[in-house]
Amino acid sequence: MALAVLENVPLAPRCTMGVGGPARFFIEAASEADVREAHAWAARHGRALRVLGGGSNLVVADAGVDALVLRMGLRGIAARPVDGAVEVTAAAGEPWDALVAHAVAQGWAGLECLAGIPGLVGATPIQNVGAYGQEVSETITAVRALDRRDGAVVTLPAADCGFGYRDSRFRRAEPERWIVLDVTYRLAPGGPPTLRYADVERELAARGASAPSVAEVREAVLAIRRRKSMVLDATDPNRRSCGSFFLNPTLSREEAERVAARAGEALPRWPTPDGRVKLSAAWLIEAAGFTRGHRHGPVALSSRHALAIVCHDGARAADVIAFARVLRDAVAERLGARLEPEPILWGAALD
């Protein structure tokens, strides 16, 4: 049976910010055959093809998307032992937080600090999702994807994925080439949890967990994220956001020193493996004069975290973009650091 192609389907209800216009064409893909058919349909009709996951890291322009939007619904999880580890392959449409919960319940270490992150498995290699001292690139062994150039399905080893800070081959280098079908992660059965982040260590200490399990680390991370409104909750007034709107900037040591001099106070900073310095985008926003809860028309900073832009009643995508520009430009003018957006922008741009 031919795949149903819908027209003028609203995207705002399918995105956590709740703004943006419709998809000109829309397909729900429940199988790899559906994905291949959607790819072929877009090619036959000369339409761009966009892939929609959980909509938690996306801003859609008010005019919508003049393209075929493929909603990723592939499901399935399989695990197999490999040389004392376990390799878990999850389909791109699997909810990410459920996969983390499953791994933790099995006692598999490697994903516990990534609990509470919304979205689907397929987005994790694209964004190189990370939080609280872990990144998925540390555990990903392979990404299986459809190559839009020729329609072939290929398996890319981690070394070919171009992982960087919140970046990958799939995001910047070749953003329109690949459709992720499934991802394989290598986890450690009975392994120790990752403890690299001060907030997590403080939370565990407050709970009296001196030798925490992966389950205890997951619960600590969830508690921290809830306090920052970084867990989807229908009762939270900060819920209409896409989480962190800006990446933490990574600068040379000289550039970081110049920012510190302009800030006139202790600048939080962390060395990176490549000898550069990572700064806190949230700290920079507050240092530029914006407090948590700062309102800009129908949008605002989260009342719990300065890195999240929140939509209120009447907000449009244009309001989100306009406020993001205000924040970016103020940080650049006052502190000399440039902020880059973390979410994907469909039909919208800060520049």
Catalytic residue annotation: 166, 244, 342
CA distance 49 to 10: 16
Q: Which long-range contacts (CB under 8 A, 24 or more apart) does 1-7 make?
A: 2/37, 3/27, 3/29, 3/34, 3/37, 3/38, 3/41, 4/28, 5/41, 5/68
Contact 156, 195 (CB under 8 A): no
- Locate 158 and state its tokens: 């981690």
> Which one-letter amino acid corresponds to residue 327?
L
Q: Distance of CA 215 to CAs 59, 81, 103, 192, 194, Å?
A: 33, 21, 10, 11, 11
Question: What three-state secondary structure class fits 232?
Answer: coil
Sign of the four-CA dihedral 65, 68, 73, 79: negative
- Locate 83 and state its tokens: 């040389």
